[in-house]
Amino acid sequence: MDQRPTIRVCLVDDDEDYYVITRDLLAEIPSYAFEITWINTYERAIEEIARSSFDVLVFDYRLGAKNGLDLLRQVLAKGVRAPVIMLTGQGDREIDMEAMKAGAADYLVKGKIDAVQFERSIRYSMERFSTLEQLRASRDSLRTTSQQLEKALGSINEELETAKRMQKSLLPQTFDAFPGVEFSGVYLPSGAVGGDMYDVVQIDDTHVAFLMIDVCGHGVPAALITAMTKVSFTRYILKNDSPKSIFTQVNAELCRFMPEGRYVTGFLAILDLTTKVLAFSRAGHPPAMHASALNRTVDYLTTGAPLIGCFVDSQFEETTTSVAAGDTIVFYTDGVAESQNKSGLRYPMQRVEEIIVAEGKKPAREISAAIIDSLKEFAGSEPQADDVTVLVVKIL
């Protein structure tokens, strides 16, 4: 009894001689036993293939008034699930490419096929088809799961409130625990929860980190990514005092988990409280502002800025600036810079510059409140379209 795996092949070709050639080629393949069904007309092929079950379909391109591409499209439209190998003539490269675009798994050139090549094509087509079927099933499963989740999320306000409280708990809760600096943060999500986050982390007795992140998108998905990103940053901040190195490690970690179409922008600064040197890196995020108490001028802190979570080999940059007692640093998300009023005009960031210069001697919480008041006054009754986050840091 033949113990070899059996492959059911359907050959559609109007030339009986080629059926004989195909049968003999398949007989030379030692790895499999083949059951071959020969169909010699286009019309019969549509009927037979629709009601039968084949492992591989082999179509000749030339089938009288119709052709193999027509047959391919027709059987696919009827929901037939099997890999198709197209037989074409020498020099028919355009047809070969068109067949692949239409859904063929492979193509072979008539007159140049031997048993080894035929076996390779059959095996490749079946494996490729199996992989595509698994991907299709996974996609359908994910789509169903996504729809179920979306439906559930639309009706669970209590869970949203819990998420809101949890996200708020991730923000710094004290404002006087860091010798040498004073800070005040404001977070205004555009919905119940959002994709912005800021943090202040004391690394050791002489270093403190200031982090601002913004996840692409809004709502619960963005909030979940934000929480994951914040945890990742905190872990690496406590191990390292180089913003560039931290960005590199966080990016490599998030690239493994980031959903398609999502990314994170961020600004990370680490202050040496002894030398008053601020090292910083930026990742697709608006530059921070540094207001000098001595010169009463505002500089923008900027570096090269690849996004986080897109490419594992992204190269981040780091630079430094000196700060002094009385200076003010403002970190913010694009919800500030892109806020609009009824006329569609964007909020002028010059207003923030004017506030931090004019109010520079006031506590950080009064400066952050003044920035938010200015933003709300500008927007008027226009709804908030994006999360708004501001972190004001005063050097003591």
124-136 pLDDT, tens per residue? 988 888 888 888 8
pLDDT higher than threshold 80 for residue 56: yes
pLDDT at residue 231, as a whole number: 85
pLDDT higher than threshold 60 for residue 198: yes
Same domain, 378 and 309: yes
Same domain, 192 and 45: no
Domain stop point among 104, 130, 149: 149
Residue pLDDT, tens place only, 281-323: 999 999 999 999 999 999 999 998 899 999 989 999 999 999 9
Domain stop point among 120, 149, 178: 149
Strand partners, 273: none
CATH code for position 13: 3.40.50.2300
Same domain, 255 and 221: yes
Same domain, 333 and 358: yes
Tell me the C-alpha distance between 317 and 285, whole Å: 13
Same domain, 75 and 164: no
pLDDT at residue 141, as a whole number: 86
pLDDT higher than threshold 70 for residue 143: yes
pLDDT at residue 145, as a whole number: 84
Q: Collect all residues with Cβ–Cβ distance below 8 Å to 18 and sequence separation of at least 6.
A: 60, 110
pLDDT higher than threshold 90 for residue 2: no
Strand partners, 37: 10
Long-range contacts of 166-174 (CB under 8 A, 24+ apart): 166/227, 167/193, 167/194, 167/197, 167/223, 167/226, 167/227, 170/197, 170/199, 170/226, 170/227, 170/230, 171/197, 171/198, 171/199, 172/198, 172/199, 172/200
Tell me the C-alpha distance between 344 and 196, whole Å: 23
Mean pLDDT of the chain: 87
Give domain status of residue 1, yes or no. Answer: no
Lowest-confidence region among 52-56, 151-155, 251-255, 297-301: 151-155
pLDDT higher than threshold 70 for residue 1: no
Domain region containing 54: 6-149
Residue 390, both tokens: 């501001």
